[in-house]
Amino acid sequence: MIEIQNVRKSFGSLEVLKGIDLTVQKGEVLTVIGGSGSGKSTLLTCINGLEPIDSGRILLDGTEVHAKGTDLNKLRRKVGIVFQQWNAFPHLTVLENVMLAPRKVLGLPKAEAEAIAVKQLTHVGLGDKLKVYPSRLSGGQQQRMAIARALAMSPDYMLFDEVTSALDPQLVGEVLDTLRLLAQEGMTMICVTHEMKFAREVSDRVAFFHKGVMAEIAPPAELFGAPRTPELQTFLSATH
Amino acid sequence: MFDTALTWNDLIFLAHGAGMTLMVTAVSVVAGTLMGIVFGVLRYQAGPVWSLPLTFVLDIFRSVPLLIQLVLANAFQAIARLGWDPFTTSCVVLSLYTAAFCTEIVRGGIEAVPHTTRRAARSLGMTWWHDMRYIVAPLATRVSLPAWIGLTLGVLKDSSLVLWLGLIELLRASQILVTRLQEPLFILMICGAIYFLLSFPVARLGGYLERRWSPND
């Protein structure tokens, strides 16, 4: 369970999170929508401790992420994150990209790490690209590799930060299909996205962020069907 | 017909000089590079303000002519009664000189690794050390290699200045032969050719590594 309690965060004088309260249950798929600068991506990087917060608490299975004694490296094994820019390690093959963290962080023997990596890469449809360097892959393939790389750590939670925003339109589908697959398998996911159709299909709940505040949160049928705030109404009419 | 007084023994004498050049260069480049890596990482981690004292000291080694550094170091080690022989003094000075340049090469290489790539590594639970060892080091090495090869070739040639401390390296050996045989052009050509032979493999090594790494980029 991810518990976000009254989290505030500023970059300089700009407050990007103005007291966010949100609980994500095990097995839930939450999508977060909202305009750029609404704080939704920042929230994700706060959840796995890549960004500090100014006040409030974030609890991951009861462990406070930003507490002093928390071992963030250990905590991050539980939470995979995939970014808008796929960030492949360019000097490693696709297989090595995915094997690296299981080998070095979990300390698995080579054969075991390789088996996990092959399994995850096959899962995202890259089973035939193992020995290839990332530069030879399309953006969509690189993004799926990044997803496999995060999954290889067998995380309990997955965070997706606008993973299709930097892709050519014809490559978006393959990545969304991978996310759908994970959702069907019961992975707990928070997806920041601009893909409304995808949000409508896979989410258990959808949260709408506006200027650092979570303005609305509801199951997709309700949120898209009957938006309550004028901000969400404006946002939805602009994106449709 | 071409006639020379140069004997096999003289050539062996030159070869010994070349050996000394290689030795001084190898020690200085290895030690200087190791120090450069440590200082470079320190400079990167500490940021421009906190690393100011280190930067200042390294700037001295980068700015003062090597000849002056050698002569001063030799004088200071005598005053301080360190008892260093000319070889040790030469290696210490050239190592620091190399380290001063290498520090900037290393820092530049680390800065060239995208912040987002490193963030992705850390998000997988990798520690700072994992990130440095498996992501930053290989990527920064690729970026820094051409500059480092240039530095190594520079040190190889600059090492001729240690003759002022009395070390008989390649250039000094050539000078001795020139004085004795009075055939400056011929002997300096041989000397230059030997420098070229020493440098060539280093330059080629750079080209080879760049080719080997290029399909990955």
* pLDDT over 90 at A165, yes or no: no
CB contact under 8 A, B117 and A89: yes
Chosen for mutation from A47, A60, A100 (greatest number of chain B CBs closer than 10 Å) is A100
The mean pLDDT value for A162-167 works out to 87
Q: Is A44 on the interface with B (CB under 8 A)?
A: no
Nearest by CB to residue A76, choosing from B114, B123, B138, is B123
The pLDDT value recorded for residue B171 is 92
Q: Is B143 on the interface with A (CB under 8 A)?
A: no
CB contact under 8 A, B135 and A89: yes
* Chain A nearest CA to B98, separation (Å): 28
Mapped onto helix, strand or coil, the DSSP state of residue A132 is coil
Across chain A, mean pLDDT equals: 91
Q: Is B114 on the interface with A (CB under 8 A)?
A: yes
Beta bridge mates, A216: A208
pLDDT in tens, A197-230: 899 988 999 999 999 999 999 999 999 998 999 9
- Give pTM, 2 decimals: 0.86
The pLDDT value recorded for residue A171 is 84
> Could you tell me where the beta strands, DSSP code E, fall in chain A?
2-11, 14-24, 29-34, 55-60, 63-64, 79-82, 157-161, 188-192, 205-210, 213-218
CB contact under 8 A, A87 and B117: yes
What residues in chain B have per-residue pLDDT under 50? none
- What whole-number distance in Å separates Cα of residue B154 and Cα of residue B140? 21
CATH number at B8-216: 1.10.3720.10
Non-local CB neighbours of B156 within 8 Å, separated by 6+ positions: B21, B25, B195, B198, B199, B202
The mean pLDDT value for A44-50 works out to 92
Query: Pick from B96, B211, B61, B92: which is nearest to B142 by CA?
Result: B211
The pLDDT value recorded for residue B6 is 83
* pLDDT over 80 at A240, yes or no: no
Measured between beta carbons, the chain A residues lying within 8 angstroms of B138 are 91
Decide the pairing of beta strands A55-60 and A157-161. Answer: unpaired
Q: Is B120 on the interface with A (CB under 8 A)?
A: yes
Q: Is B48 on the interface with A (CB under 8 A)?
A: no
Sheet hosting strand A157-161, strand order edge to edge: A79-82, A157-161, A188-192, A29-34, A205-210, A213-218
Report residue A169's pLDDT band, with 50, 70 and 90 as the boundaries: confident
Q: Is B207 on the interface with A (CB under 8 A)?
A: no
Contact in structure between A61 and A1 (CB atoms under 8 Å): yes
Which CATH class, in words, describes the domain spanning A2-239? Answer: alpha beta
Non-local CB neighbours of A29 within 8 Å, separated by 6+ positions: A183, A187, A188, A189, A191, A202, A203, A204
Where do the domains of chain A lie?
Answer: 2-239
The pLDDT value recorded for residue A173 is 87
CB contact under 8 A, B126 and A89: no
Q: Is A146 on the interface with B (CB under 8 A)?
A: yes
* Chain B nearest CA to A96, separation (Å): 11
* Chain A nearest CA to B121, separation (Å): 8
- What whole-number distance in Å separates Cα of residue B11 and Cα of residue A128? 59
Q: Is B82 on the interface with A (CB under 8 A)?
A: no
Nearest by CB to residue B126, choosing from A85, A92, A105, is A105
The mean pLDDT value for A3-16 works out to 92
CB contact under 8 A, A83 and B126: no
| Chain A residue with Cα closest to B128 | A73
Radius of gyration of chain A (CA): 18
Q: Is A107 on the interface with B (CB under 8 A)?
A: no
- What whole-number distance in Å separates Cα of residue A48 and Cα of residue A79? 7
Report residue A173 as tokens.
């589908």
The mean pLDDT value for A49-58 works out to 92
Angle among Cα A98, B131, B111 to the nearest 5 degrees reads 120
Measured between beta carbons, the chain B residues lying within 8 angstroms of A135 are 216-217
CB contact under 8 A, A104 and B120: no
pLDDT in tens, B110-120: 999 999 999 99
